[in-house]
């Protein structure tokens, strides 16, 4: 293999494509991205083709320029890829992508495999919602970064119900939300990362910060990794996958859902592991050996979210002060505009102990803010 002769094509040009492209360029590969926003984050390190990854013709034309196709977002147009896969290598496969785009079918696949999932049911009529309270309503397609999920605890919450094709699942008494990154290649080789513990933003229902290793016992950690691997097998997945799990207050683990790409819960691996999730992504799609997932240091990964009330060109307040703390690494994605709760970057904090990194993370959270030129 000569990496300089191979072009990796990524559908989507956001921060995940940017960090994947950085890993690919380090290894000598050329990278192109298809994204509708001129100057998308990945364009800083890859050649951008401006176009929609939801337009079949634009996807077809883009694929002709590449040797291998992968993704930074699952909400792409799959139909042209089903035919293209006969000629081009696409990882993960269009079939896996199509399954994951449908969260209800995803749930059914795990249940068929005998994996633990929250009890769920498709709703045909919104009158069913009131009878099911308390429950969680999830859109069947299109949900992302907290969108498409609503918790209905009382009848008063029905005003927040999603007017979309959806399903309901039981409202678990959740003790912790966990995630495991799994990479599986076509030779059936598997590498799995340490379990991370996730803390979600109270308003945005998206990841605020995570820490690794998760504060769970060894038996639970091993079971979480085993379930994550089995979930990837259940959908016949090859590639890199972020597997989200619930741990309830009785100590039971449940599969939540899978992302078929690099995932927010794996960002800490850039600094904290021998092989980052992004390098693994490039290794698995190009057929290179999988790298070591060994954790080198306890770590916290904190999302940099747009502050409430701020819009427009981003202003990174407290950047110098945060970077003066030993073990702090800041990743700014290069998005041209901020708005409340938008992911504008992330911070990784390393240290000798988990207590130390959590203490540093608290300071960074107080110091580093993403504001904008316009305040509303």
Residues of the chain with CATH 3.40.50.20: 3-90
Q: What pLDDT does 272 receive?
A: 98
d(CA 365, CA 360): 9
Residues of the chain with CATH 3.30.470.20: 174-375
Topology at the third CATH level for domain 3-90 = Rossmann fold (3.40.50)
Give the CATH class of 119-170.
alpha beta
Pairing of strands 239-248, 253-259: antiparallel
Distance set, CA 288 to CA 30, 94, 283 (Å): 16, 21, 5
Q: In the beta sheet, which residues pair with residue 345?
A: 304, 332
Q: What is the mean pLDDT of each run of 10 residues along the chain (376 residues)?
A: 91 98 97 97 98 95 96 93 93 96 95 97 85 92 76 90 91 96 96 96 79 97 98 97 97 96 97 98 97 98 96 97 98 97 97 96 97 93
Please say whether the structural domain 174-375 has been given the CATH code 3.40.50.300.
no
Query: What residues contact residue 168 under an 8 Å CB cut-off, 6+ apart?
Result: 120, 121, 123, 128, 129, 132, 135, 136, 137, 138
Q: What pLDDT does 147 receive?
A: 74
Q: Which two tokens stand for residue 12?
A: 């989507």
Q: In the beta sheet, which residues pair with residue 375?
A: 310
Q: What pLDDT does 127 receive?
A: 81
Q: Count CB neighbours of 156 within 10 A.
A: 9
Q: What pLDDT does 201 receive?
A: 79
The reported pTM is 0.94
């Amino acid at each position: 293999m000569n990496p300089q002769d191979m072009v990796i094509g990524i559908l989507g040009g956001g921060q995940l494509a940017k960090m994947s492209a950085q890993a690919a360029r380090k290894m000598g590969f050329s990278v192109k991205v298809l994204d509708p926003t001129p100057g998308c984050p990945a364009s800083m390190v890859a050649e951008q083709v401006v176009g929609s990854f939801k337009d079949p013709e634009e996807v077809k034309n883009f694929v002709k320029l590449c040797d291998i196709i992968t993704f930074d977002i699952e909400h792409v147009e799959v139909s042209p890829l089903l035919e293209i896969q006969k000629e081009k290598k696409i990882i993960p496969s269009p079939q896996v992508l199509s399954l994951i785009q449908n969260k209800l079918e995803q749930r059914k696949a795990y249940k068929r495999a005998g994996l633990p999932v929250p009890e769920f049911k498709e709703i045909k009529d919104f009158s069913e919602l009131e009878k099911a309270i308390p429950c969680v309503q999830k859109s069947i397609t299109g949900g992302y970064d907290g969108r498409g999920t609503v918790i209905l605890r009382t009848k008063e919450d029905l005003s927040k119900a999603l007017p979309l094709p959806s399903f309901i699942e039981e409202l678990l008494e959740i003790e912790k939300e966990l995630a495991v990154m799994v990479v599986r290649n076509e030779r059936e080789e598997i590498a799995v990362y340490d379990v991370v513990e996730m803390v979600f933003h109270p308003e945005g229902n998206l990841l605020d910060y995570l820490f690794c290793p998760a504060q769970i016992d060894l038996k639970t950690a091993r079971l979480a990794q085993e379930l994550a691997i089995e979930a990837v097998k259940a959908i016949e997945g090859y590639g890199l996958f972020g597997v989200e799990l619930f741990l309830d207050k009785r100590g039971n683990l449940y599969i939540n859902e899978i992302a078929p790409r690099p995932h927010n819960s794996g960002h800490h691996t850039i600094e904290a592991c021998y092989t980052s999730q992004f390098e693994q992504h490039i290794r698995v799609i190009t057929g290179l050996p999988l790298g070591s997932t060994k954790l080198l240091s306890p770590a916290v990964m904190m999302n940099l979210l747009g502050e409430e009330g701020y819009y427009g060109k981003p202003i990174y307040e407290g950047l110098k002060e945060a970077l003066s703390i030993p073990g702090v690494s800041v990743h700014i994605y290069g998005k041209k505009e901020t708005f409340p709760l938008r992911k504008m970057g992330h911070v990784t904090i390393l240290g000798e102990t988990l207590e130390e990194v959590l203490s540093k993370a608290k300071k960074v959270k107080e110091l580093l803010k993403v504001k904008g030129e316009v305040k509303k």
